[in-house]
A = this chain, B = another copy of it.
Amino acid sequence: MDNMKFFVTGGAGFIGSNFCDHLLGMGHEVVCFDDLSTGREFFMQDALKDKHFRFIKGDIQKFEEINGALQESKPDWVIHLAANADVRGGLKQPRKDLDVNTIGTWNVLESAKNAGVKKILFSSTSAAYGAPAIFPTPENAPFPEQTSLYGASKAAGEGLVSAYSHGYGMTSIVFRFVSIVGARYTHGHVFDFVKKLKQDPSRLEILGDGELVKSYLHVQDLMRGLWLTIERVEDGLIKDAFSVFNIGNDSSIIIKKSAALIAKRMNVTPDFTYTGGKRGWIGDERVELDTTKLRSLGWQAEHPLEQGILDTVDYLLHHPDLLVRD
The A contact surface, by secondary structure, is helix
A90 pairs with B167, CB closer than 8 A: yes
Q: How far is the CA of A95 from the CA of B67 in the complex (A)?
A: 14
CB of A163 closer than 8 Å to a CB of B: yes
Query: Within the complex, what minimum Cβ distance (angstroms) separates A173 from chain B?
Result: 13
Q: Mark A84-110, 1 if CB is under 8 A from B, else 0.
A: 000000110011001000110010001
A residues contacting B by CB (< 8 A) are 90-91, 94-95, 98, 102-103, 106, 110, 113, 129-130, 139-149, 151-153, 155-156, 158-160, 162-164, 166-168, 242, 244, 282-283
CA distance A159 to B130 in the complex (A): 9
Please give me the residue from chain B that is nearest to A140 by CB atom.
B142
19 more contacts with CB within 8 A, not counting A90-B167, A146-B163, A149-B163, are A91-B167, A94-B164, A94-B167, A98-B106, A102-B156, A129-B143, A139-B143, A140-B142, A142-B143, A143-B143, A143-B244, A145-B242, A147-B162, A148-B166, A151-B159, A152-B159, A155-B159, A156-B156, A156-B160
Copy total for this chain = 2
A268 vs B37: C-alpha distance in the bound complex, in angstroms?
Answer: 64
Complexed CA–CA distance, A144 and B156 (Å) = 11
Q: Are A152 and B163 in contact (CB under 8 A)?
A: yes
B-chain residues with CB within 8 Å of residue A140 when the two chains form the complex: 142-143
Contacts of A139 in B (CB 8 A): 143
A147 touches B130 (CB 8 A): no
Q: A91-B167, A166-B283 are in contact. Are A152 and B141 (CB under 8 A)?
A: no
Report whether B110 and A106 are in contact in the complex, using a CB–CB cutoff of 8 Å. Answer: no
Docked complex Cα distance between A125 and B94 (Å): 25
